[in-house]
Amino acid sequence: MSGSLLAQSAVNALVLSSLYILMALGFALLLSIMGVVNFAHAVIYMVGGYVCYELIVTAGLNNWVALAITALGLGLFGLFLERFGFRPFFGNTNRIIVLTLAVIVILESLVNVLVGSEVRAIPSFWSGSFQIKGVWIAHERIIAFVAAAVLLIAVFTFIRRSRTGQQMLATSQDFVGATLQGINIYRITAIAAFIACALAAVAGGLMGSLMFLNPFAGDQMLVRAIQVVILAGIGSIGGVLVGGLILGVLNAFLPLWLEGSAVDAVGVAVIIVIMLFRPQGLFGHEA
Amino acid sequence: MTKGGYEVRKSTAVAVLFALVVMLALGALAAGCGEEKVTTTTAAPAPTSETTAAPPATEAPPATEAPPTTTPAEPKELRIGAAVSLTGLFSASEQLVWEGEQIFESWINTKGGITVDGQQYLIKIIAEDCQSTAEGSSTAATKLIDAGCNFQVGPIVPFTVIASGTVTEPAGVLRVVLYNCHTPDEYGPDTPLTFIANDVTTDFIQPDLDYLKANYPDVKKLTVLTPDDGAPPIFMPMVKEMMVDSGFELLNYFEYDMAAPDFTPYVTQALATKPDAMFFINGWPIFMGNMLKIARQNGFTGPIFGSHEDPYDIAEIAGPEASTDFYTHNIQMDSPKMTPLIQEILALGQDMFGKQSPTYVWGFNSCYCLVQAIEHAQSLDPKVVAEAWENMPSIDTVYGPGVMGGLKSYGIKHNVSYATPFSMLKDGKVEFIDFLPVELP
């Protein structure tokens, strides 16, 4: 195994990790603040890719403008979902699960009917590549990594430093306690839903450029988001960083030694082994 | 129900409002996404006799003849089942297959359908979703049998073909699968009612190697990337033998996970073997386009050979910069070298679906060969049709004249073999090269 192959894989791991984290962070936010297991999160990621594509290819917008509008649009959809989907059923896990599964079926079917037979990929944000000491790096992968990193820093800074972010943390720790302190819970859950869906949309747009668009692309991503959140520990927003990094490393390096779908099997096995030693996840707290 | 002391609000009014707003939001999304991407809008030019190796497909194939004027009874309906993945990972391409089959239905019925034993039959093709899974495929086959389909076309991917066969073969249903990756359970002596109407996996390799030898004399070392679908351990020894016999060295082959989040690790490994040329054997355009892009981004400039995948879709995903020196056994839609029937199919696709696709031709061809066999047998009994089909001295395909083969490679003479179309991607454009002869499998 050559050094350049390992270095190349390390670059891949960073890019994949950043996109996993972007995707899983929104999922973790909703889970920790609202207690909502939003299975529809991945389908929002998929729709984000398609909306971004339409804005770039059909409407002729600049890639970055399209990505920003996509994030805003899907963020607004998050507000809608929170107000009319989640809020009426807070605390009722069964109903919320059914609701999110329904959203998956509706959105997947809709996109499949509308564009299912059209193979599409978002035009590159920056085409071309360059080489450093035998390692090729595509410009679009740098773009994806930097965009994801900037967004993650912004979101974490917002959560850690802003008053609203602190209120989000308080809400995630104790819903009732936060209310008694005068925090407007519904404002917080709405902001969390907006951020979560916007992040998923950005991940969808970036991944749709690196890979391709598929009405069912969210299915695979949902599994990975759940893996990251489980690794991180339920309720740990910061742990998502480490969870995403571990999963990205597994997906980038395991194919060097394993064939085909054995990669997924071994990846899941590694997560199970970690769970044996840390059932609450790497950064979760014991119940 | 409560969380943290908050009462759940679940009034009917809110639920109704939610449903209405969801529909409105989805409608808005539909407006944004619904615009059709028209791949090609111009009709294909007329063919020239010098470029169409095969006789024009419109030269009176049995299925295209008008029904006798003395047909005694009203036309009846002959149901053909289409087992296709309309959802799931393979749906992007297989939906086009289904559209191609619908084009066939319209085309054949416009010509009066087929005549069997003096009775005119109009064709009704019924689709069931294989869901890109094995269990979905066996369920689809069962539902099609329940719908009265004694003849079926599809599926495509090995594990779906195998799953479907466990239902169709015992039920005595004749099945035309669209592809084959050489696993014995897909197709062979144990599947006596399964036929293949298209060139498949290993049929493409020798023409590719011959082309490589003639046009890239410096190329000696080859590496293969292929999906992890259970077939590579079976067909790769054959591929290796062909490569070695043609004077090439197979450095290694790598199997990729079709559901991988990123194909970069596989392409990176393949490039680490330092090949002169690469073969992407089997797989869908979504995989090939992505791997082509990654290979070019990683500095690989050698030729890459696909199997038969849609070059337009590959170019869409790879992007114009990466779409060069890539070869595939498929058509150039606006080439004057296309047969008249191919041009007719593409024009019909434009009328019916507002777009054209090479995959239409693929889906159409399976149905086209099947109805020729039924008319040749003059029977609707699948076993009688199967026996008649394997003994047909020739059969027309959309690509030109075909013959029955398969005994040498599969131990069963159920392959329709024909000169394979061969195109390349050059600077983001599709360029048709020629119809290349294929050794009888």
| Amino acid at the residue A271 | I
Instruction: List pLDDT tens digits, range B272-303.
Output: 999 999 999 998 888 999 999 999 999 999 99
Comma-separated ranges of CATH 3.40.50.2300 domains in chain B: 62-199+338-421, 202-328
Mean pLDDT of A236-256: 89
Q: Which fold has domain B202-328?
A: Rossmann fold (3.40.50)
What is the C-alpha separation between A237 and A165, in angstroms, rounded? 12
Answer whether B214 touches A (CB < 8 Å): no
Instruction: List pLDDT tens digits, range B207-263.
Output: 999 999 999 999 999 999 999 888 899 899 999 999 999 999 999 999 998 888 789
Give the pLDDT confidence score for residue B72 in this predicted structure: 58
CA distance A100 to chain B (A): 12
The answer on pLDDT for B62 being more than 60 is no
Q: Are B73 and B117 in contact (CB under 8 A)?
A: no
CA distance B59 to chain A (A): 32
Instruction: With beta carbons under 8 A apart, name residues in chain A contacting B91.
Output: 112, 116-117, 214-216
What is the C-alpha separation between A81 and A76, in angstroms, rounded? 9
The answer on pLDDT for B17 being more than 60 is no
Higher confidence at residue B146 or residue B3? Answer: B146
Give the pLDDT confidence score for residue B373 in this predicted structure: 97
- Name the residue of chain B whose CA is nearest to A248's CA: B261
What is the C-alpha separation between A211 and A206, in angstroms, rounded? 9
Within 241-270 of B, beta carbons closer than 8 Å to A belong to 254-262, 264-266, 268-269
Burial readout B128-140 (b: 16 or more C-beta within 10 A, e: otherwise): bbbbbbbebbbbb
**Token pair for B73:** 């009874």
Give the pLDDT confidence score for residue A117 in this predicted structure: 64
Helix (H) or strand (E) holding B412: none
CA distance B248 to chain A (A): 24
CB contact under 8 A, A179 and B1: no
ipTM for the whole complex:
0.86
Instruction: List pLDDT tens digits, range A109-153.
Output: 888 888 866 778 999 998 889 988 888 889 998 998 999 899 989
Give the pLDDT confidence score for residue B69 in this predicted structure: 53
Give the pLDDT confidence score for residue A174 in this predicted structure: 86
Helix (H) or strand (E) holding A68: helix A63-80
What is the C-alpha separation between B128 and B80, in angstroms, rounded? 11
- Name the residue of chain A whose CA is nearest to B11's CA: A88
Give the pLDDT confidence score for residue A90 in this predicted structure: 83
Answer whether B12 touches A (CB < 8 Å): no
CA distance A119 to chain B (A): 6
What is the C-alpha separation between A13 and B99, in angstroms, rounded? 39
User: Pick from B370, B169, B211, B377: which is nearest to B305 by CA?
Assistant: B211
Instruction: With beta carbons under 8 A apart, name residues in chain B contacting A129.
Output: 297-299
Give the pLDDT confidence score for residue B230 in this predicted structure: 83
Higher confidence at residue A7 or residue B46? Answer: A7
Mean pLDDT of chain B: 84
Instruction: With beta carbons under 8 A apart, name residues in chain A contacting B262.
Output: 12, 15-16, 210-211, 251-252
Q: Compute how many other C-beta atoms are within 10 angstroms of the C-beta atom of residue B4.
A: 16
Within 225-264 of A, beta carbons closer than 8 Å to B belong to 251-256, 259-264
What is the C-alpha separation between B387 and B407, in angstroms, rounded? 14
CB contact under 8 A, A260 and B228: yes
- Name the residue of chain B whose CA is nearest to A135's CA: B298
Instruction: With beta carbons under 8 A apart, name residues in chain B contacting A248.
Output: none
Mean pLDDT of A14-32: 89
User: Pick from B205, B70, B89, B85: which is nearest to B136 by CA?
Assistant: B85
Instruction: With beta carbons under 8 A apart, name residues in chain A contacting B8.
Output: 88-92
CA distance B382 to chain A (A): 31
CA distance B328 to chain A (A): 17
The answer on pLDDT for B67 being more than 70 is no
Mutation pick from B86, B252, B264 vs chain A, by most beta carbons of A within 10 Å, is B264
CB contact under 8 A, B25 and A80: yes
CB contact under 8 A, A136 and B10: no
The answer on pLDDT for B375 being more than 70 is yes
CA torsion sign for A212, A217, A218, A221 is: negative
Instruction: With beta carbons under 8 A apart, name residues in chain A contacting B99.
Output: 117
CB contact under 8 A, A51 and B33: yes
Give the pLDDT confidence score for residue B201 in this predicted structure: 79
Confidence of residue B11 (pLDDT cuts 50, 70, 90): very low
Name the β-bridge partners of B125.
B80
The residues near B322 (Cβ < 8 Å, ≥ 6 apart) are B292, B293, B295, B296, B297
Instruction: With beta carbons under 8 A apart, name residues in chain B contacting A176.
Output: 4-5
The answer on pLDDT for B173 being more than 60 is yes
Q: How many CB pairs under 8 A join A and B?
A: 195
Name the β-bridge partners of B422.
B434
Instruction: With beta carbons under 8 A apart, name residues in chain A contacting B289.
Output: 119, 121, 212
Q: What stretches of B169-297 show up as alpha helix (H) in DSSP?
A: 205-215, 232-245, 264-272, 285-297
Mean pLDDT of chain A: 89
**A87, A119, A256 ranked by CB distance to B269: nearest:** A256
The answer on pLDDT for B195 being more than 90 is yes
Pick the CATH number of B62-199+338-421 from 3.40.50.720, 3.40.50.2300, 3.10.129.10, 3.40.718.10: 3.40.50.2300
CA distance B30 to chain A (A): 7
CB contact under 8 A, A261 and B3: no
DSSP B176: E
The answer on pLDDT for B30 being more than 80 is no
| Amino acid at the residue B245 | D
| Amino acid at the residue A27 | F
Confidence of residue A285 (pLDDT cuts 50, 70, 90): low
Q: Compute how many other C-beta atoms are within 10 angstroms of the C-beta atom of residue A198.
A: 25
| Amino acid at the residue A119 | V
The answer on pLDDT for B46 being more than 50 is no
Instruction: List pLDDT tens digits, range A145-182.
Output: 999 899 989 998 999 899 999 999 899 888 889 999 99
CB contact under 8 A, A121 and B289: yes
The answer on pLDDT for B21 being more than 70 is no
SS3 B411: coil
Burial readout B373-394 (b: 16 or more C-beta within 10 A, e: otherwise): bbbbbebbebeebbebbbebee
CA torsion sign for B26, B27, B32, B33 is: positive
What is the C-alpha separation between B431 and A252, in angstroms, rounded? 35
The residues near A24 (Cβ < 8 Å, ≥ 6 apart) are A224, A225, A228, A229, A232, A240, A243, A244
Q: Are A11 and A141 in contact (CB under 8 A)?
A: yes
- Please give the model's pTM, rounded to 2 decimal places: 0.82
Confidence of residue A62 (pLDDT cuts 50, 70, 90): very high
Q: Are B92 and A119 in contact (CB under 8 A)?
A: yes
Answer whether B34 touches A (CB < 8 Å): yes
CA distance A149 to chain B (A): 19
Give the pLDDT confidence score for residue B363 in this predicted structure: 93
CB contact under 8 A, A2 and B272: yes
Instruction: With beta carbons under 8 A apart, name residues in chain B contacting A214.
Output: 89, 91-92, 286
Give the pLDDT confidence score for residue B409 in this predicted structure: 84
